[in-house]
Structure 1
């Protein structure tokens, strides 16, 4: 057989495997759905559902048993299957000339892939009546009674699994709601609690709220083991066990002063003290309990700890376990070994190996999300599979003598190899933390790899279904986890769609390795994209090529990262050398993510709902069906690829022809960045002056990319509020920037520091704008009207210190007021520049059109066009109806980004045109 197949292991024919075994899929799906529904259900409802499922399953099993006994009695025309009419067994004797290993119960199959030489082309040894391709063994009973019995059996299995999942979910949900913690949370009580940490502390990503950033916070998952209400002098502690999310605000009111000295340093010390804690550590804290922000969470409450002058330093009651201390040393060694690498490699290697994303910058994180590469930063089954494959060799050879990999090369027996694989899996869970996502990755990776090791394709789907069933029964909260859903979909795509697509591509002449890579990336994207669209309301057009480009780099980066992790505690120089080697593939992955995210058409907006997910699924199905036909027409495939490339690159001239955006001859564009400000002034030839950066780097970057702006001689930040400066990384991303000019009023302190860090990181000089400054750049010239060189009493805060510009371009006069409020507006009207304010063509209304405007200034300016930048459904009511009415009373046409989108002003002073995106 082996010689005939041309392989020393023989050729495996797909028909030897038989059809895919789907019997475990319905029970797994039933358990999944039941667990998701029963977590919030009342105990009475859970009990009823479980009881009904068990009773109906019992009825089905009882009926199946009696039907099966009746069916056996009637087999063979009334004779028992293995006996005569009197019940005595009938023995078939082996002929004397038959070989010893010949079967005695009838003919069996021979090799499917042997030579064909029997009558009618039948393979030798194949029974005349047996269909080609059916696996050896007794023929299945296909009578209606047998099918009915198996249907009953399948239904009973589905109901029993649903009952088990419902009971597990009901118990987990009830356990979450019991005890004093949920009651105290509903009362927003201040408590003193002992909390055992169940995850690594992680810094929260700051978010823009209005004109400020959220305080620096540390997030930790934990379990309250004892709680006393009323703080330190309250009631006696009550023992309990309730999961909570601990939020430590490390910047209290004392550290928000203008000096930014001692208290801020104390806040940083508190932050580091919390970030240095390990899972299994027990701490005593005083804070305020609050209900979970959203329903259906796996936490009973939120425990918020506020720092007041450094008094929130955690009091350790019990040290972490020995296993967690060892894991902590390994993780710390990995961070130390990567300290000398570039910023991207220093951030990515710990993320690729153990899921430590603490060094990932918001900009890099956004790039990975835009290109659908975020899964590489999360601990997944692929991490474990790579390491096990390194130990065992190619999975299909794991049970053969011709195994490859480290274990057989070192002469390690198969059983010892299996023990080493188990130890590696256990170590993976400990080092990467036994969080639900890690347990899910370990279970899926191990079960699927063991199924692959058998060399039988039809065992893969049952293995995946088994993993889903066991995980949902163990942790019902996974049934509501998007990460779990994405993992199952991706694994299912690799096991079902990818082999078929790969074979189809190979039949059309695609090289095998390229066909496998294309099929794997395309299949995973096809099944996961609808769920990703629900989470991000966006569909990536560069996901498949970006995943293909990083695929060959993930494995070496992961292996070298794990080697660095293992050697760092014992030989740091060797670990640093390994980390340096691993930095090359890591930098490649980061470079692909940044390059893909920088493309103007990297993604398209999509409805972020399950209706949108269904629409995307249907669209994907239609595209796949059309793609099968297109593969037969190479020239048509090339044309479609060229169209997709144009959609992703979006050359500005072509985009302008197709969409009309940006309009030809545009002079000013007010970007739609939500509740914030970002304005672009055209300076010709892909060059623009940017005034303010908005609150979101992704939104302002997208706006500039659509305008084709690649060179920015000057960025003007009117003041340091977050809704004007937080998007600065998006302005600087991939563009040549000459300088950043700001107001001299250096508050808020944290945002001033943020701007300085961004400028220093990219070596962009910082300048100060003062009244009287004049500049010219190509067709653009502008004058700074405010603030004066010497601060006036009216400027009592950052808004009143906003840089105010009077801009001229092609005869159009534009006044940009920043966020000036009435005191500063009145002072501006009394300043020497007041004579130049009258009769402007375009007014950028101050402070998002708030009610705080000076009516006299509006009447003096009397603009032809008033533009307001405001976010849709913002909580401040911007723009105020009174302000809009006052502007219209002066004869101005009022346009606003919350309703009209991005706004572009074009034309000349005599022929003013405006267009919305």
Structure 2
């Protein structure tokens, strides 16, 4: 993102240094005034711009007539430059807006136009839209010269953007074409485009005239360099043309992401460093450029100094022609030409005036550069290298840093400091590895560039020699790619930041405050060493430290649903640093980051449920840096393009691809699974209806848990699945089919009866996933629903379900009153969680800030404390208690469903588990009875146990009168209270005194009975946390005292006997 990085220290020019008296900033104010005026006038009203320019010129003339020297003369100069910039900007903006194309684009008309290509074709990165992947296209910048209409042709001169087929990639600038297509307005207003023309048809372009001779010569040079690099390693082959001439057509998306993540994209944007290399080869060292003892080839050949400057100017123009007139190239060439003019005329040279003059001339020549981020970054980086870097380098040398190291560190730090606020506007991310990665890559850039230019020059006449030079240049280029990949692969390589100009200003303020605060620390070596150690720990993020600080991943995780956007990526633990991966999501970077966070290094099996893009396009991220044993897929190889993509990537990684066999059973350690679907080919017409119905469905068992993974099965396939497998057991975790779409078979949900339903969907997806109807059906079956779009990545352990600390969970679509169904108000990440009900019985579980706790207990007995180091917040544990299953449903294990609080803020840390230095949690427990408990004894569940306690006949036959023994009052369950009485009690509850909440059961509100010495819960639900209950909860002192009061669990490891004076009636469905 930073054209003109540390390698551009010469700023594309040859100089003797700064003036003895300091920096010459006389041209800085006029250049900035012209820049600002041009940027404003491009989209401003023409009459207003004309009036402002006239006023500025009149004021400047008046000031010049009164006082010709001093500050007043400088103000007049600034006003004149501003007027010139405003006039140029207004004319450039009017040129884009005038003509019939802009109006036709607003009406989306079909037109036929003649255009002239003005830039190199660029391939777009294909994007995933749900299950489909957009076809790759080529965009070409062009200028419309003639509009062909039924009534005749109209001459125009309007910039347009062509969106065409891949066959257009070989076009060269200055080629004339005739195209037909549909017009559309630009995506963003204020762009240098009048319209976007989507070309009709998939064939090659209709060429009216070939490129010019100069463009053909430049095209042959660029093509020769590509041919010379054909035999190199993939990274060197892709990177070397970009380092030399800015040709990034071969750079793969993952390498491009690595360069962006380390702020090294300035190496691929040709700038002053490349031109400086060429000028040094011609003129010799910069500080000797105008002296008699010049050491360049021109001096050795006896060429006069003025002729040498002319040759340097021609070299700069050829540089622009071959590398294309990008903003950073134009800035470097302008600086170089101005400096060469000073050399040829014998004048004093200074880079700051040259930079200011280059900015002024370029803005007047092309006012659209005033709104170019590339131009802004190039000017900022060059200005930092000329102003900040020398001072910082001198300060480092005074503190004992070697001169070369001081210069490199000062150059990289200064350029990054001034460019970071602009980069964050574009990328919404701050890189912590930018400076070290640029320092490591800098020694390799110069040799790669010099050898690359040599290969570029000899390729048209001696291709074998060019290949040898390219082979030598490939080594430093490969090192640069390695640095970028390694830096971007660090866990703490960067962090998100608000991506707007406000975010940029905030980052600038934070960096300024950090610089001021760090100045006293520079004099203390121990403080600098401590900061360096902390930065290293933040970058590397060792797994033990990360788990201790954030609680992610939770210990003993068995399943993780990665947050990969609108797609699926599930990870099943199979041993230390080993996991089975089901689907790869739509983006390699997202699944790679998820697997790195989990510490997965070996993947014995990668199962791709089907070949839709949102399940397979992340395959390179799984293969990156991991040992993958085999890839298993469905037998329905559609879409064919995605199936070919999977085979291609697997072939590159040398991983075999096999088809899943129905009924296949495998085991890896404690993890075992069975393939339920699809049936063999030809046995089911439903499985051949499309890729979704051919998804591989699994029944997984691990550590006593049962999981069902349904891929993207549609209702017909779901119906045939449960009809074919009549023995499907109830499951603990269900991966909801097709991202929770509305197309679900309710009978399959009833058969599986999941305790936890996991929905993998992208935030703000246009498909409405997950559907409210599906969420309602899942909650009606007693499931707690967690979603990756609102809760982030989800981990399932033997005792808990957690959300990654990197993203604060947000409540799912629920009403404020807790009724499932319609979407309720959400919250911004990091804000308080609104209460809502988590189960079918309508009871809402209290949740902490930054996380939530809820769940459904199937087994009887007291709820045990969480395991040491668990992600469940201890002080909220005592405020939650399980809810019993309806009659006729066998109880199961007592796992807790919860979410991991975010550790990114102090408030969330206070709501999180209190941890000891050794990672243990302070937790409490309390008694709970369910429909499966007997009147005299309650069994205690061992967490993670696979045993399912059997229902006691005595519990089903328990009479309601038994609940009155030992209790001070009669407590009725929710099903025993008539609906009218429920409504009456609900409406009148806000005005009840404190004592009315003791020993009473108010509809679904909850009840307490008195035991000697303390309050204890009975079979009713805990108090609702809906807003109108929250208003009175502070006045119910006895209830709150019990709710926060820890009750010591009985030390018996398997069961505990309840007091004989207490029994619980069987609950009925509510």
Question: How does the TM-score come out when normalised to structure 2?
Answer: 0.72
1:361 deviates by 0.6
1:297 aligns with 2:191: yes
Deviation of 1:456 after TM superposition, in Å, equals 11
DSSP 3-state at the match of 1:676:
coil
Task: Give the Cα separation in 1 of the matches to 2:70 and 2:132.
Answer: 64
Q: Deviations over 1:709-740 (max 9, x none)?
A: 12211111111111111111112112221121
Match of 1:835 in 2: 727
1:31 corresponds to which residue?
Answer: 34
Q: Does 1:800 align with 2:800?
A: no
Q: Secondary structure at the match of 1:359?
A: coil
Which residue of structure 1 lines up, in the alignment, with residue 549 of structure 2? 658
Pairing partner for 1:631 from 522, 535, 555: 522
Q: What displacement does 1:285 show?
A: 1.5
Contact 1:451 1:460 (8 Å CA) reproduced: no
* Cα displacement (A) at 1:294: 1.1
Report the counterpart of residue 707 of structure 2 in structure 1: 814
1:168 Cα deviation from its structure 2 partner: 0.4
Q: Structure 1: state its 5+ residue gaps.
A: 1-11, 66-148, 251-270
What are the Cα deviations for residues 31-85 of structure 1, in whole angstroms up to 9, with x where unaligned? 11111111111211221221122122223223324xxxxxxxxxxxxxxxxxxxx
Q: Tell me how far apart the structure 2 counterparts of residues 521 and 209 of structure 1 sit (CA, whole Å).
A: 39
Deviations for 1:781-840, whole angstroms, at most 9, x for unmatched residues? 1111111122521131111111111112211111111111111111111113x412x321
- For 2:515 and 2:509, the matched residues in 1 are separated by 10
Do 1:903 and 1:914's aligned partners in 2 also have CA atoms closer than 8 Å? no
Which protein has the bigger helix share?
1
2:716 to 823, 827, 842: 823
1:240 to 146, 156, 159: 156
Show CA shifts across 1:542-576 (max 9, x none): 11111001101111111111111110111111111
How much has 1:277 moved relative to structure 2? 1.6
CA distance in 2, matches of 1:740, 1:455: 69
Counterpart secondary structure, 2:350: helix
Secondary structure of the residue aligned to 2:244 is: helix
CA distance in 2: counterparts of 1:411 and 1:757, whole angstroms: 57
Query: What displacement does 1:874 show?
Result: 1.2
* Segment drifting more, 546-555 vs 31-40: 31-40
Q: Tell me the CA shift for residue 436 of structure 1.
A: 4.3
What displacement does 1:445 show?
4.8
Give SS of 2:70's match.
helix
In the TM superposition, 1:834-853 aligns within 5 A as 834-836=726-728, 838-853=729-744
3-state secondary structure, aligned to 1:720:
coil
2:559 is the counterpart of 1:643: no
Say if 2:140 is the partner of 1:220.
yes
Does residue 856 of structure 2 align to residue 856 of structure 1? no
User: Does the residue aligned with 2:523 lie in a helix, a strand or coil?
Assistant: coil
- Equivalent in the alignment of 2:564: 673
Mapped pair 1:741 → 2:657? no
Deviates more, 1:626-635 or 1:484-493: 626-635
Contact 1:397 1:455 in 2 (8 A): no
- Counting matched residue pairs gives 792
Pairing 1:189–2:109 present: yes
Secondary structure of the 2:291 match is coil
Aligned partner (choices 44, 47, 65) of residue 47 of structure 2: 44
| Aligned-pair CA distance for 1:468 | 1.2
Q: Secondary structure at the match of 1:367?
A: helix
Q: Does 1:276 align with 2:145?
A: no
Residues 361/453 of structure 1: CA separation in 2 closer, same or farther (3 Å cut): farther
Quickly say closer, same or farther: Cα 1:798–1:441, change in 2 above 3 A. farther
1:315-341 CA-to-partner distances (Å, cap 9, x unmatched) read 111111010111111111111111111
State how 1:589-608 maps to structure 2 within 5 Å: 589-608=480-499
Distance change (3 Å), C-alpha of 1:639 and 1:839: same
Q: Is the 8 A contact 1:698 1:727 kept in 2?
A: yes
Distance 1:571 1:484 in 2: 36
> Is the Cα contact below 8 Å between 2:182 and 2:198 reproduced in 1?
yes
Q: Per-residue displacement from partner, 1:237-287 (whole Å, max 9, x unpaired)?
A: 212111110101x3xxxxxxxxxxxxxxxxxxxx33x22221111011111
1:432-462 Cα distance to aligned partner (Å, 9 max, x none): 1234453233224544687899999993222
> For residue 84 of structure 1, what is the aligned residue in structure 2?
none
**Aligned twin of 1:500:** 391
Closer, same or farther: CA 16–695 of 1 in aligned 2, 3 Å: closer
Change over 3 Å in CA distance of 1:634–1:448 after alignment to 2: farther
Question: How much is the aligned-residue C-alpha RMSD, in angstroms?
Answer: 2.1
Question: Could you say if the C-alpha distance between residues 401 and 662 of structure 1 is closer, same or farther in structure 2, counting changes exceeding 3 Å?
Answer: same
Aligned to 2:94: 174
Contact persistence 1:807–1:815 (CA under 8 A): yes
Quote the Cα distance in structure 2 between the aligned partners of 1:807 and 1:437. Answer: 56
- Tell me the residue number matched to 1:420: 311
SS at 2:211 equivalent: coil
Alignment of 1:384-463 (within 5 A): 384-447=275-338, 459-463=350-354
Match of 1:757 in 2: 648
Is the CA contact (8 Å cut-off) linking 1:451 and 1:463 kept in structure 2?
Answer: no
Distance 1:519 1:692 in 2: 45
> Does 2:434 align with 1:518?
no
Specify the SS of the correspondent of 2:573.
strand
Could you tell me how far apart the structure 2 residues matched to 1:801 and 1:449 are? Answer: 68
Q: CA deviation at 1:357?
A: 0.8
Flag the 1:446–1:677 CA change in 2: closer, same or farther, 3 A.
farther
Contact 2:16 2:349 in 1 (8 A): no
Decide whether the 8 Å contact of 2:313 with 2:340 is kept in 1: no
In structure 2, how many angstroms separate the alpha carbons of the residues matched to 1:717 and 1:444?
A: 54
**8 Å contact 2:117–2:175 — kept in the other structure?**
yes
Instruction: Using the TM superposition, give the Cα deviation of residue 532 of structure 1 relative to its aligned residue in structure 2, in angstroms.
Output: 1.0
Q: Could you tell me how far apart the structure 2 residues matched to 1:14 and 1:281 are?
A: 43
Equivalent position of 2:604 in the other structure: 713
Contact 1:745 1:801 in 2 (8 A): yes
Q: Distance in 1 between matches of 2:535 and 2:38?
A: 41
- Bigger relative contact order (CA 8 A; separation at least 6): 1
Change (3 A) 1:172 1:15: closer
Q: Report if the CA contact (8 A) 1:246-1:305 is conserved.
A: yes
Query: 2-side partners of 1:175 and 1:156: how far apart?
Result: 29
* Structure-2 residue corresponding to 1:333: 224
Alignment partner, residue 261 of structure 1 = none
Change (3 A) 1:666 1:456: farther
- The DSSP-based 3-state class of the residue aligned with 1:17 is coil
Q: Distance in 2 between matches of 1:741 and 1:441?
A: 52
**2:429 corresponds to 1:535:** no
Instruction: Please give the per-residue CA displacement for 1:328-377, whole angstroms capped at 9, x wherever unaligned.
Output: 11111111111111111111111111111111111111111111111111
Distance 1:450 1:888 in 2: 77
1:551 to 421, 427, 442: 442
Shift of 1:160: 1.2
Whole-angstrom CA distance in 1 between matches of 2:259 and 2:584: 21
1:15, 1:755 → 2: CA distance?
57
Correspondence for 1:471: 362
Instruction: Find the aligned partners of 1:150 and 1:208 in 2 and give their Cα distance.
Output: 61
SS of match in other structure, 2:899: strand
Quick one: structure 1 residues 15 and 744, their matched pair in 2 at CA, closer, same or farther if it must change by over 3 Å?
A: closer
> Residue in 2 aligned with 1:143?
none
1:387-420: per-residue Cα shift (whole Å, max 9, x none)?
A: 1122222212211223233333444332232122
Q: State the distance in 2 between where 1:876 and 1:52 align.
A: 55
Q: Which structure 2 residue ranges, 5 or more long, are not aligned?
A: 1-14, 800-892, 903-1070
Shift of 1:910: 3.8
For the residue of structure 2 that corresponds to 1:661, the secondary structure is coil
Note if contact 2:343-2:349 (Cα within 8 Å) is conserved in structure 1: no
Moved more, 178-187 or 873-882: 178-187
Q: 1:675 to 1:741 in 2, by over 3 A?
A: same
